[in-house]
Structure formats: structure tokens, C-alpha cells
A and B are shown apart, each in its own frame.
Chain A
């Protein structure tokens, strides 16, 4: 007579955990499928195409699948492209700095001194420009800065000038001014979001301990809102780097940015050249994001 297995077997080994069926493992990710389709189909796929194009060439309006580094070589060997890219970078950097300088006082005032009930309508006012089309917002500056624009007429009226100032428009300063205007809301809202979460008692404590206001701001406030500042920089710098419409509308021939040259390539069906320069800008942006990545880590701020 056979004994029951449990009477003769040793200790029962732990049961090997069985893998859940595939459908159950994939179930949590079903919700991502639309994003995967969108991201994969309308971002990754075109990006891969651009990468491939940048290593091919155009002959007689046809993209020929001949692998070459000529597009990149040509860019770096042509001083105009390098200087235009460099000018674009410093325009973006200057625009970002001035935008943050303009946005910070507003965000500080909103977060620190404005009653919560009054903040909402003021925030709406910051967003209102987005209710108008981008093109209209840029074009409106020609009626402000032009020789017969509002600004010139006002300066003539009060006797500051006797001839209209022609340099206000169709030059680089006009491009920077309009870009600051366009991206101001991004910076203001981002900085406000950071400042709103700040514990203002810390500032008071610092001043109670003898720190002047400037020291309290630089040593207590700014380090703690550094992620917000970083995000604001990213939100302004990156899109400005790729701007082409604003320079075209208000920059004249002296406010050209790298985006304008890329447009000329695509307009002339020189896709491979345009793709190569576009990728170089994208690579710059990725490098910048990697460099800024640490700035977004709050643990560094508190030394934990």
C-alpha cells in the first residue's frame, strides 16, 4: 500500500511563483497605447526620418539614399552658418535672461503680496495674450515700433525726437523685444508656481537673524526655487532657439536666426541640409537638458 505522499516526503519546497498571463501584465499599460501611437507615429518616426535625411543628399530635387557626412561638414566649414548659430544662441540666452528678469518681480509680487482671491484674475491677465494668434501678436509690434508706429509718434509728440527712429524695427533688438513679450507668460507662470510653494516664514526668519533682504533672497529664496527657475529657462530658451517667424516679421535682414536659414533650405527642397542643421540644434537642446537635469533635483537644494 502506497503511503500518502505527505507521509514520506521531506519538507515541501516553496512553490515557484507562476508568471501572470501576458494580458494581465500588459493591462496596466493599455492606457498608454494612444500616447504610444501618437508619440511613435508622429514624433519618433519623423525624427528617425530627419536623422536619415541628414546623412543623405539631394540631387535634382530627389533625395538620394547615398550616405554622406557632407551636410554636417558643409555646415561647420561655412562661417555664415556657424556665426548665425552662435548669434542665435546668444539671442536665445539674452532673451531668456531678460525675460526672467522681467517675470521674476511680477511673480514675486503675485506670490508674496497679492491676496489669494485677487491672484486669479491677475493670472488670467497674464494668459490673455494666448487667446490671440501668434502671428497677430508679432505683427502688432510693427504698428508699435515702425517709423510711423505708436512709439515713434509719441516720442515726436513729446519732442524727444524730430525724425522717426528707424532702428526700432527690422533689427535684432526688435526681435529680442518681441520674443520677450511672447515668452513672458511662460516664465511668469513657472516662477509664480515655484514662489507660491515657498515658505515665506524662512525669509522672515533670515531677516530676523540679521540678513538684509538681498541676502535673504539670494541665499534663502533663490536656491529653493531653483527648479522653477530652471524650468522657466527651459520653457523660454528652447523655443527661442528654433524661432524663425518673429525674426522674419520684425528682424529684417539684420535679425536673421538659424531657423530662417533652415526654412530657406526646406523651401528650396534641400531637405538633407535642413535636416542636418535641425538635428544639430536638437542635439544642443538635448545637451542642455542633460546639463540642467541636476538642477531639477530638489534633493541637491536641501543637501539630502
Chain B
């Protein structure tokens, strides 16, 4: 369109329409929605029998330790399914993104008690976990998690689990910590690092102060937890955004203790750091078990099972363990690790004891998240 002289209204409107069309096309992205060969009416996700290799992209809200880049590539080559992982910072972040975007996501990863909330709010659909061929590789306990059963099916395809323990450098920390109250000891001032997860830190404080449900505390329990955290605040050197920062702090000696997931000792050693040991406080530890959920509004529910059947194969899960170092629910992967000479490491991380996962204080939505965040901010504010 060339413009000679003053622009007419028609020219202006045409230019605007062309511009907006271009913006719209760009915003739509490149997700292809070819559904040839697969019935779009198979909304219950049991389309394994009709799985095709037609190309499709699944938008996956997850965490970075749920996949390996090479794994995603291999799945695409085998099934035509291109996974597009989008990282969530926390369960509430993932929950809200799915809630606000409807069918934009196809799969969402979640922890423990968040799964029932997703289902109750109509965001996810249950499926028959036993119908997935790959589920035969799982520990049976992973398929019997009571709060993951709903709607005549299973809410989550189990991935892995971990607890948040105290990792300490025995050269500087003695005796070995036996309680969360070690954080209030003045001799460890400025020598502890933890991840900046307000709900998790408050839950740990809740454990230390006897809260019944640390992730769903009453107002009085929040207040007690806040007082504990205030007393423990001098111990914290910093609150990190990535667990790799905790590893680095332990490795370079700037921190003597870290509140971190299982496997931190191996990661510190791999980073050239000193020997650090794990301690489980007597009050208990918080933890998580996570997995993949099928988003109810997804337009590709018929490819969910095909994707998992390919993605969750034991060989990839075993590699994931070696990279991320926390136990997973795939039993066949454990056997692969044993055959590869990693039994000691796997056993040290309780890989072959998945029942431990259900004994943890598991992550879940808070009934008073505002109170929790307010309490946390009041502790760590200036």
C-alpha cells in the first residue's frame, strides 16, 4: 500500500487492520493442532490405542528437573509430540497459570496435595494410570497414593519425591543437628542458606513449633512459626532463588548449613566442595511428591498417555536421577542404576524406599496463604 498525499480514512483503517492481523498471527505462535488420525472426541485421555505420530506440540507447565533436553528431542522423534516446557516457580504459580489460561497448557506438574485442589477446581482430569504401559515400571506404592485417587481415576502420573533436610559441614557444625532449633544457635549466625520459598520456610518453622498441618496452619500456629523464624533469622546468610546457589555456598564454605533437597551432598562434592552430611530433624521434615497432570481444557488430551508412555521410560528416568540426584518413582530405573554401578548413591538417597515419601509433611495449598506470606515478610523485611 503506497501513500500519496494525505492518508484517507480507508487507508488508515486498512493499515491498522493489516497491522493487527500481523500481531495476532505472531501472538498465536507456532503450535500446530493437526489431529489427523486421532479422535478429538477421546476426551478421557485413553487414546493409547489410537495414538498416531502426527506432529503436535504439548505445552507443559513443569519444573526443570522433570525432563532432559535430549529426552524431549527423542520423544518428539519417536511420537511426533513436541513438548514445550514452561517453568513454574511454585505450585501456586502453576495453579494460577492453568486457571487463568484455560487450555493453553496441556500438562501441568504439581506436588502432592495440590493435585486434589486442581481437580476440585475443575482444572484437571483423572485418568486410568494402570492403562499406561509405562506405569508397570513404577513402584506400586506410587500408584496407590490415597489423595491422588479421585473421580474414578488417578490424578497424577508419579514422577519423583524428596524431602528438605539440613545439610551441614561436619568440620564446622558439631554436634550433628537433631532439631530445627539448631537454626537459633548464635554460633551459626550467618552460616545457613535456604531457598527463598516463603511457604516452605514457614512450614519448616511450623514443624519446629508443633503445628498440626505445617502447610495449612491456623492463625495461632502461623504466629508461633513467625516467632521461631524471627529467632532463626540471624542464622541465614541469604535466601537463594536456585538450589545451585545453595550448593555453591556449601562448596565454597560461605555457608555451613543448607536447607535443601535430597542429593545436595553429592552435588556439593561434584562442585568440588567439602564433605557435607544430611541430618533429619526430630520434628520431621517437609517434602514433596510430584508428577504430571492432564489439564482438562487441553485440546490434546488424546496424546497425554502416548506422551507419558514415551517420556517416562526407565532409561530416561535413570539419567534424570544421575543429573538431578533425587529419588524417582520408576522402579525399573532403579534396577538400571544398580546395573550401572550406582546402587550406593541411589540407596543413600532412599530411591528404593518410596514409602518414605508418604511419611513426609507434604506440600499442599494453604488455607491462609496471605497470613503465611505476611508473616514471612514481617520476619525478613528490613
- The residues of A with any CB-CB pair to B shorter than 8 Å are 22-24, 26-27, 30, 33-34, 37, 58, 60-61, 74, 78, 80-81, 83-84, 87-88, 146-148, 166, 170, 248, 251-253, 256-257, 260-261, 264-265, 267-270, 273
Q: Are A264 and B254 in contact (CB under 8 A)?
A: no
Q: Are A268 and B372 in contact (CB under 8 A)?
A: yes
Residue B381, interface by CB 8 Å = yes
Partner of A267, one of B6, B90, B238, B378: B90
Task: Sample 15 A-B pairs with CB under 8 A, ordered by A number.
Answer: A23-B7, A26-B7, A27-B7, A30-B7, A30-B12, A61-B99, A80-B381, A88-B382, A148-B254, A248-B238, A253-B380, A261-B377, A261-B381, A269-B96, A270-B373
Interface-centre pick from B12, B198, B382 (highest chain A CB count, 10 A) = B382
Q: Are B92 and A269 in contact (CB under 8 A)?
A: yes
Q: How far is the CA of A74 from the CA of B283 in the complex (A)?
A: 33
Q: Are B9 and A267 in contact (CB under 8 A)?
A: no
The A interface is mostly helix, strand or loop, or mixed, namely helix
User: Given A27-B7, A78-B374, A248-B241, does the pair A87, B15 have CB atoms closer than 8 Å?
Assistant: no
Q: Are A33 and B16 in contact (CB under 8 A)?
A: yes
Chain B residues with Cβ below 8 Å from A83 are 381-382
Q: Are A26 and B373 in contact (CB under 8 A)?
A: no
Partner of B369, one of A26, A33, A78, A268: A268
Chain A residues with Cβ below 8 Å from B381 are 80-81, 83-84, 256, 261
The distance from the CB of A278 to the nearest CB of chain B, in whole angstroms, is: 14
Q: How far is the CA of A209 from the CA of B6 in the complex (A)?
A: 59
Chain B residues with Cβ below 8 Å from A268 are 90, 92, 198-199, 369-370, 372-373
Interface-centre pick from B16, B238, B367, B380 (highest chain A CB count, 10 A) = B238
Partner of A269, one of B93, B252, B378: B93
The distance from the CB of B106 to the nearest CB of chain A, in whole angstroms, is: 21
Q: What is the total number of residues of chain B having a CB less than 8 Å from a CB of chain A? A: 44
User: Given A80-B381, A87-B382, A270-B373, does the pair A248, B239 have CB atoms closer than 8 Å?
Assistant: yes
Closest to A26 in B: B12
User: Given A61-B92, A264-B376, does the pair A22, B9 have CB atoms closer than 8 Å?
Assistant: yes
Q: Are B96 and A61 in contact (CB under 8 A)?
A: yes
Closest to B254 in A: A147
Q: Are A80 and B233 in contact (CB under 8 A)?
A: no
Closest to B100 in A: A63
Q: Are B372 and A30 in contact (CB under 8 A)?
A: no
The distance from the CB of B4 to the nearest CB of chain A, in whole angstroms, is: 12
Q: How far is the CA of A265 from the CA of B6 in the complex (A)?
A: 51
Q: How far is the CA of A226 from the CA of B22 in the complex (A)?
A: 45
The distance from the CB of B269 to the nearest CB of chain A, in whole angstroms, is: 18
Q: How far is the CA of A170 from the CA of B254 in the complex (A)?
A: 11
Closest to A257 in B: B382
- Please report which residues of chain B, range 332-370, place their CB below 8 angstroms from some CB of chain A when the two chains form the complex: 365, 367, 369-370
